[in-house]
Every structure is written in C-alpha cells, then in structure tokens.
Chains A and B, each alone.
Chain A
Amino acid sequence: NAGVTQTPKFQVLKTGQSMTLQCAQDMNHNSMYWYRQDPGMGLRLIYYSASEGTTDKGEVPNGYNVSRLNKREFSLRLESAAPSQTSVYFCASSANLRGGTDTQYFGPGTRLTVL
C-alpha cells in the first residue's frame, strides 16, 4: 500500500517548456487535489477532482490544466512554464464521504524550478 505517489520528484524547466506532473493513489479514494506550496504562502489549492469525471478550479488555477484519468490517477499539466510556477507541488487524495470530515493524504511532492 503505497498511498499517494508522485512523479517526478524533481524537475528543472526552461521558461515556455511544458510538462505533466503525475499523481496516483491506491486507497480507492474518490477525491484528488493538487496544491502548490511557496514560502510564506502555505498550501494553495490549484485544482481538485471531487470524483472521477469531474474537475474544478481551486484558488490559483491560472497556467495549469488537469486530467482525472481514472479513479486512481490525477495529472497536472503546465503548458508553458513561467518562473512564477517555481514551487513545490503536492498531490492529495481523500475518501470524500458525506457527513463528516475527510482526511486528505498527501504525496511526497515534486520540486519544480522554472528558469
């Protein structure tokens, strides 16, 4: 049981290049999330998928796209990377069962630098 896995762990891009960050979970969770973490800004939600087949914008969606490929996988794409997208990216998942709290489990993160 690996939990939430992310690839790659590190990436350096040049301005204008594109890339896709991959995330997979093996907990049969319904919901998946992408966050970015920057010094002094905390964790900010980029996009989320409440259930397979749906995606919605979070707090900071500009410059990103997502795909919920199936129940296990949720990818984040940068079409034309900018230095402002230098950050640590975390994927998370949760069961999303009505009627209570909903623990989010995080992956180990991807450190992205855009030159």
Chain B
Amino acid sequence: QKEVEQDPGPLSVPEGAIVSLNCTYSNSAFQYFMWYRQYSRKGPELLMYTYSSGNKEDGRFTAQVDKSSKYISLFIRDSQPSDSATYLCAMTRGVTGGGNKLTFGTGTQLKVEL
C-alpha cells in the first residue's frame, strides 16, 4: 500500500463547475500538506500548503485537511479552462536537519471544458 493515495482521473468538468480533488494517507507523522499544479510538459509549482488540520483559502482555491481521517482535499470554485492540469498532493513531517523529503501522490489529471 502506498503512503499517499490519489485518484489519477482523468477528471473532466464543464467550465464554472466546482472541482474536488482528494488524497488519503497512512503516515500520521505528516504535518504539512501541499498541493502542486503541473501543466503539461512543465515542472510542478506549489499552489497551496496547509499546516495540520483545518482549511485555507486562496482566491478560487480551498485546501482542507482532516488529520483524524488522514484525508486532504483541494476545492476549485468557478473552474476555468486554464485550471486544466495535473494536481499533485504532497506531504511531509516538516523540516529537519536532514532536509525536507516530500511524499507525493500520483496526481489527478483535470480537464475543464468550455
């Protein structure tokens, strides 16, 4: 069993829809939870991060963490064609002297259609 599980999709939605992307994890030591966005043939870029449980909002994007269920979500409101990308969740225990190793999900491919 992988430490982080993510539905690979693809997920296709109409423009303006609310999108829900999710990951589950098994390691209770994870404290920081991130969402990266990766456009086709590009490197991943950080979209949002959340510390411990709770919600964080940034414009049309909301990240939620439920540590009791080991479940994280990314919601995209009023989705746009420019949101079409692969979304990767990532998590870590935090920075230690030995570097900060992230554990990634496999990514969910999202397509927002006109």
> Footprint of B on A, CB under 8 Å?
4, 31, 33, 40-45, 48-51, 56, 58, 90, 92, 94, 96-109
Contacts and interface: CB of A to CB of B under 8 A. Distances in A.
Given A101-B94, A106-B45, A40 B8 contact: yes
B49 A103 contact: yes
Interface stretch (B14-22, B60-68, B74-82, B101-109): B101-109
Contact of B106 (A4, A31, A40, A49): A40
A103 B42 contact: no
B50 to A, nearest CB: 9
Contacts, number: 76
A57 to B, nearest CB: 11
A96 B99 contact: yes
A31 B99 CA distance: 7
Contacts of A40: 8, 106
A42 B98 CA distance: 23
B98 A50 contact: yes
Contacts of B101: 45, 48, 58
A34 B6 CA distance: 22
A102 B104 contact: no
Nearest to A104: B102
B32 A101 contact: yes
A94 B43 CA distance: 15
A26 B5 CA distance: 33
A100 B99 contact: no
Nearest to A91: B43
Nearest to B105: A42
A94 B32 CA distance: 15
A94 B100 contact: yes
Contacts of B95: 96-102
A61 B104 CA distance: 17
